[in-house]
Structure 1
């Protein structure tokens, strides 16, 4: 798998999961809230915080879509986006603002975006993908509702246009996505492209993302809000600041818990001796007793003869008296 760095964070296998706290437009145009969201992402120990900077009328024909929209009302100014990028970088966070038009693309690149997020609807907009690739920034490519051939075409254009660092997202365009439509196992197929694979989570809660980590997701993106009860566009798939903190801690724990594909005994794991059993005398026995199966018992701790060797004691004669529960050793036996 190709690996690459995003602001000092290695993205790919054998590295920590790259976690993106997606602020989007959950600030509803409030710059104060947007700045608070950057701080929240930092406190939650995310790796990146991202926003949207989409000019609604640049991508929608007014004949078919409302000219006015909340996306326009809630769109931050260019100057505010630049300040948010600076704030994120001050906290050590990677950042970007999702864009869908050429002018905004040029703006976020010049403003210091660390990577580019391509929304699912643009996976077939090959001229736009080519321009994204020409920037040289890593591209996080959403594949919601795309079939395999469309993903292949998109990646081919990105590659031919100079884009080398790509994350392929398993995601869905339905908000919220019901569990039966998430298709996490599709990540196994996406890995054939040899790029890091991510999960852009549009489900309710956090359980599905944790499952994605267990299945090998290298990147997780999750919406959050300072107050998810406020009915803003992504509120149904957003989590609160406290949930975000717990969520990221859970991701780190799941990743650590995956371990390596081997069965091993860990260093300093002494409990295994305490919970295993040893061969012991079931009752008091005197010297000269010929041991039968009924004379044996198996009790903790496992510091003595292992029960697997019990057959070696059958029919043998004791050299000494032994007490009930006394551990038995071959040195206690006569040479018959």
Structure 2
């Protein structure tokens, strides 16, 4: 984990900071703005740091075309035409101001993933505090350049990307003015198989590109996200729904409110548990030092008597000399009368 720090709405992200948890609303509003409001409120109550939208329309994503290339033939959205899928999933531009205002009233950060320049312009008019670049747009260098020119922090997912493609995106963003860049490891599969989560890549991204790194998690449940924090992830993005039974476009791989609450708690606990390397004794351990073994007299001895192997034992508690001195004490003489059950000490031993 490098020493970089980024701020979004005065919340520091990076070294020595707890993980930044993003609840991805995506299409889980199911076309209902009131449901979007419910999602934002629920995410806030669960403890998320931010909610994230996706800003596009079907017409800014693709064209209404029936050619086979525009059809989805496998996976979660099998049988959909691209245009129809995005029409179903879009967050209308006219909702955005109300959503931003509502989030501000609650006190939770909201930002979005723009998918073209018109979306960036809309989000700039709302003074978005940050931008997200989706994995599928990580090779859209003109879009990245346009977003970076705003000077706002960028969180970029790297799903599907080769190392060279990530480097191109990073160089483009930085050359265009982005000074606060976070890279998210991501497996662009919906849902992503747990055995392909490849969380080790989180540390690689941070070192290779000198950035804060994190995880955009499409696996089921929250295990991968919590494990990622232990591996150095400082940002966790997770799709969020009120109920998977509502069957929205992204519901099957989204977590529900109670799961989001546990994710926020468990991620912070994992971060706290990592600590710092070293052999320093923790304060919580101090009171248990007494239960270590140490050397005790197990027979009464008169002053001047030699100590034999049967006179002392290595037992609990730990108020006597350390066990490593056992053989050194054999043959020494006691400096005063001692009773069985007395802890050994150098003051009781004749030189």
TM-score, with normalisation over the residues of structure 2? 0.89
In structure 2, stretches of 5+ residues that fail to align are 71-80
Deviation by residue 1:265-316 (Cα, 9 ceiling, x = unmatched):
2346432322212211234445554222232212222223222222332112
Residue 87 of structure 2 is aligned with which of 35, 52, 72?
72
Mark the CA change 1:298 to 1:67 in structure 2 (over 3 Å): closer, same or farther: closer
Corresponding residue for 1:133? 148
Residue 21 of structure 1 is aligned with which of 20, 23, 26?
23
Q: What CA distance in whole angstroms lies between the structure 2 residues aligned with 1:58 and 1:270?
A: 62
CA contact (8 A) 2:57 2:91 kept: no
The answer to whether 1:246 aligns with 2:248 is no
TM-score, with normalisation over the residues of structure 1? 0.93
CA contact (8 A) 1:57 1:67 kept: no
Corresponding residue for 1:59? 61
Mark the CA change 1:133 to 1:333 in structure 2 (over 3 Å): closer, same or farther: closer
Corresponding residue for 1:142? 157
Q: What CA distance in whole angstroms lies between the structure 1 residues aligned with 2:285 and 2:135?
A: 47
Q: What CA distance in whole angstroms lies between the structure 2 residues aligned with 1:333 and 1:102?
A: 84
CA drift of 1:325 comes to: 2.5
Corresponding residue for 2:250? 234
Matches within 5 A, 1:272-287: 272-287=288-303
Residue 199 of structure 1 is aligned with which of 208, 215, 218?
215
Matches within 5 A, 1:1-336: 1-61=3-63, 62=65, 63=67, 64-65=69-70, 66=81, 68-191=83-206, 192-267=208-283, 269-335=285-351
Deviation by residue 1:153-184 (Cα, 9 ceiling, x = unmatched):
11111112112211111001101111222211
What RMSD, in angstroms, separates the aligned Cα atoms of the two structures?
Answer: 2.0
Number of equivalenced pairs: 335
Q: What CA distance in whole angstroms lies between the structure 1 residues aligned with 2:82 and 2:235?
A: 35
